[in-house]
Chain A
Amino acid sequence: MAEARSTADAGSAAEPLTERVISYAEAGTEAVREEMRRDSTIFYIGQGIGPRGGNFQQSKGLWAEFGEDRVRDTPIAELAQTAIGVGAALAGSRPIVDIVFFDFLMEASGQLVQQASTIHYISNGKFKVPLVVRAAMGNVRSSGPHHSHTNYSWYMHVPGLKVILPSTPYDVKGLLKTAIRDDDPVLFIEHKSLYGTKGAVPAEEYTIPLGQAAIRRAGTDITIVAVSAMAHRATEAAEMLAAKGISAEVIDPRTVAPLDKETILNSVSKTGRLAIVDEAYANCGFAAEVAALVCEEILDDLDAPVRRICGLPAPHGFSPSLVRRVLPSAERVVKEVEDLLQLSS
């Protein structure tokens, strides 16, 4: 996928002065490393994130540099891990809690939703909770029903919580640095399938503001909105559509809370059509939210019904053949978009 820089991004990050190509995983460790060097109140805890460097190498080298005080392996206790992050944030630290597998956040979601995300409000602004919860989502290599979930929309529903889903190394680094500096609790969700992907990341310091979408591909016939790994899938589908003479614009919101509504609405006003590609289930999800937004704001601009192209509502089965059927493929996106265009032609 092209490293197209968002137009909205122009004010926040200069073009890379020193072109480097690094991986999505390396971009994350670089962000954490630079921030931990800058601010001694930051510490990092999680399962297997110390000497091992994380299941996905997402914390590689941090333990060696910062030591076991600031980079701590925890027992398998997601609830306490997250609550410790809350308590430490209240006491003036800036904790990063790595849940590793996003599914496991369910064991601790009360700590994030009921404690971390409410305290600033109910304390009347007296406390802040600068906590980053980091986790990796998605079905890779048939990881089954306990290691594949993409239920990030649950957390979009929580006032006081910010939710980030980067799709490129550039975004991982810039957004993770922003998340660490943010005074609100932030859920930073990477995608397991993207850790090995590579992209241009400047050597120079930069951050990316939250709530600014990236336009991954410009187009005129239809707007496709997708985050995380599905932003790549949507771009792949857009290239296939281009070969058929259909011009799709792909928008990657990058952060779903806050959500860059303006970029989505402007694009759909221009194209008159909207599809949302999401690995997660359609009902009550991110796709439903984007669909509702467009219907509420610019219904008259639509030339066709909104289409949600989502993971099928089944638990994640094990066999690769089941996984293939359930997750949206580029071919399925192409087929559904063609179908949608026929409806409005």
Chain B
Amino acid sequence: MRHREAVTLKFHKDLILALYRSMTLIREFEMKARELFRSGKMPGFIHLYIGQEAVAAGAISHLRRNDYVTSTHRGHGHALAKGIESRELMAELMGKAGGSNGGRGGSMHIYEPDFGFLGTNGIVAPGIPIAAGSALSSKLRGTDQVTVCFFGDGAVNNGAFHEGINMAATWNLPVVYVCENNMYATEMPFDQATRNTSVASRGAAYNIPGIEVDGNDVLAVYETTLAATERARRGEGPTLIECKTYRWFGHHEGDPGTSYRTKDEIQEWKLRDPIEKLREQAVKSGWAVAADFDAIDSDVNRMIADCAEYALNSPQPDSETAMDHVYN
């Protein structure tokens, strides 16, 4: 395991603004989803990504459209960053016919082949071996597609983590494993779930690089995952990256998230807001000016208003279609 070096890349304005836009879109989308859920207009339940935006934005923004992503129950951020339209995603969360999957999947079952998006997932950890599968397919088909696999700290003590990473490592598959360690699996603190609280150190168990990175620093996530992706694309095998981060809200909407976490701890992490951090860093470094960010903010706000309206107005799927697509 090694810690990444201080940021040395020269970041250019387009990249900074793209990352900012991606994170802001996720943040505002989630705030709107929260509002719609609380209004009772959204069925099911949702797990918000707010606070972790730097991981999805940083790890996905450098991917190609046909690279693969496997995601989790907390997956709206990954879906948006990979390119799924916000209006289609919001409609899907509401179980609407206009959703990305026609309302058949919902928050935890988002699939989009056009963007190589191999699913959010209602089960913790199977994405890890599934990612090994898509990576094996790329290798056998002779493409240079990379799979980026997201999972939380809750997944790393599950057998699927071991089986999946072991096989990806053994077969030298083009996959980047990105652990979003937000310190709690539902309400279970990570240090109560394992004796080894360094996920990155587990790379050694599989003889692959394990790297820890500040998951609230989008530039650090970008650099680290870009290097791992290029490594995978060159055929040099998987990397395990642990992004230390935090979710601002409860495990799911409706869980206040305060019975197992102190208000001070939550507040402390809110002060490390990845979006604010990028904005401050960029302005200070002269990469962009406030007006650039303000323009993105208003654009994103318009998009979110539009996506909510689209989702609210989209009809539910015709119940006569309930038996469609069981089989091909």
Q: B133 to A127, Cβ gap below 8 A?
A: no
Taken together as a complex, chains A and B put the C-alpha atoms of A124 and B95 apart, in Å, by 12
Task: Tally B residues with Cβ within 8 Å of A.
Answer: 44
| Given A43-B140, A90-B118, A124 contacting B101 (CB threshold 8 A) | yes
Taken together as a complex, chains A and B put the C-alpha atoms of A198 and B326 apart, in Å, by 36
- Interface 1/0s, chain B 303-328, versus A by CB < 8 A? 00000000000000000000011111
Q: How large is the interface on A (under 10, 10 to 19, 20 to 34, 35 or more residues)?
A: 35 or more
| B83 on the A face (CB < 8 A) | no
Q: How far is the CB of A39 from chain B (nearest CB, A)?
A: 12
Q: How far is the CB of B7 from chain A (nearest CB, A)?
A: 33
| Cβ-closest chain B residue relative to A45 | B136
Query: Within residues 220 to 245 of chain A, which ones have a CB less than 8 A from any CB in chain B?
Result: none
Taken together as a complex, chains A and B put the C-alpha atoms of A40 and B119 apart, in Å, by 26
Chain A residue numbers with a CB within 8 Å of B123 are 110, 114-115
Chain B residue numbers with a CB within 8 Å of A343 are none
| Cβ-closest chain A residue relative to B170 | A75
| B126 on the A face (CB < 8 A) | yes
| B159 on the A face (CB < 8 A) | yes
Query: Within residues 237 to 251 of chain B, which ones have a CB less than 8 A from any CB in chain A?
Result: none
Q: B136 to A87, Cβ gap below 8 A?
A: yes
Taken together as a complex, chains A and B put the C-alpha atoms of A127 and B130 apart, in Å, by 14
Q: A122 to B137, Cβ gap below 8 A?
A: no
Q: How far is the CB of B64 from chain A (nearest CB, A)?
A: 14
Q: B134 to A91, Cβ gap below 8 A?
A: yes
Checking A75, A77, A110, A159 against B126 with a beta-carbon cut-off of 8 angstroms, the contacting residue is: A110
Chain A residue numbers with a CB within 8 Å of B132 are 80, 83-84, 87
| B31 on the A face (CB < 8 A) | no
Q: B166 to A80, Cβ gap below 8 A?
A: yes
Taken together as a complex, chains A and B put the C-alpha atoms of A252 and B51 apart, in Å, by 58
Selected A-B contacts with CB under 8 Å, 7 pairs = A83-B129, A87-B147, A88-B137, A89-B133, A90-B119, A114-B122, A182-B328
Q: 8 more A-B contacts (CB under 8 A) besides A88-B137, A115-B121?
A: A83-B160, A87-B131, A89-B133, A91-B137, A93-B136, A120-B327, A124-B105, A184-B328
- Nearest 10 A/B pairs, CB to CB: A87-B133, A80-B163, A83-B129, A123-B111, A91-B137, A84-B133, A124-B102, A87-B130, A80-B129, A91-B134
Q: B residues within 8 Å of A by Cβ? A: 68, 70, 101-102, 104-105, 109, 111-113, 118-119, 121-123, 126, 128-138, 140-141, 145, 147, 159-160, 163-164, 166-167, 170-171, 324-328
